[in-house]
Chain A
Amino acid sequence: QQQVKQSPQSLIVQKGGISIINCAYENTAFDYFPWYQQFPGKGPALLIAIRPDVSEKKEGRFTISFNKSAKQFSLHIMDSQPGDSATYFCAASQISSGSARQLTFGSGTQLTVLP
C-alpha cells in the first residue's frame, strides 16, 4: 500500500520553465512534509520542507504548496536550470518509536531540464 503517491514519474522542462511535481497522501497522522533531491551517485538530500499549518513555503526558486483538506502537496521549481536535473522525492513524516521520525517516500520524479 503506497501511502504517498507521486506524479509524474518523469518530467522534461526547458531551461527557464516551471517544473511542478505533485504528491498525495492518505495518512492524516503525517505532520511534516519534506522534499528530497537526489543526484546520480549520491544519497538524497533535504531540499525544502513544510508543516501542515501553512499553505506555502518558498526558499529561493523552490516552493511547496500544501492543501491539507485535499491531502495534497506539490513542489514548484521556478526558472528551472540544467543543474536542477535530478530525482525528486516527496515524503511524509510521523512520529514513531523513541521519538524517531519515520519518513514515507513517494516513488520519485526524474526531472530533466534542457539547456
Chain B
Amino acid sequence: DVKVTQSSRYLVKRTGEKVFLECVQDMDHENMFWYRQDPGLGLRLIYFSYDVKMKEKGDIPEGYSVSREKKERFSLILESASTNQTSMYLCASSLVSSGKYEQYFGPGTRLTVT
C-alpha cells in the first residue's frame, strides 16, 4: 500500500514564526502536492512538484514556498506564519504513468497560528 506520512498531526505556531511541514511518500512517486483544506472551500492547491528540485505554483501559493531535495520528501514552508494560514494542510503524491491519475493523501497537519 502507498503510504504518505506527514510530520505532525497538530501544530501550534506564533505569528511571524517560520514553519516547516514535512511530507514523505514511500512509493517512488514522481509527483507530490501540497493542499490546504478549509470548510466550504474544499481543497486548494498550494504548490506541486513533478520531479526533484522542480516546483510549480498552484492556485494559492502566496505566503508559501516548497522544497524537494529528494524524490520521497516534499516540504512546505511558511516563511512568516500569519493567522490566516491557520488551516488543515494535506500532502499527496501520484505516479506518472498512463491512466494512473490517483493522488494518495496523507492524514493532514492541522496548523493553528496564534
Contacts and interface: CB of A to CB of B under 8 A. Distances in A.
Contacts of B96: 98-100
Given A100-B56, A100-B94, A101-B31, A44 B51 contact: no
Given A102-B58, A107-B41, A46 B103 contact: yes
Contact of A89 (B33, B43, B45, B94): B43
A43 B48 contact: no
Interface residues of B, number: 30
Contact-size category for A: 20 to 34
A101 B90 contact: no
A9 interface: yes
B37 to A, nearest CB: 8
B42 A105 contact: yes
Interface of A: 4, 6, 9, 32, 34, 41-46, 49, 89, 93, 96-108
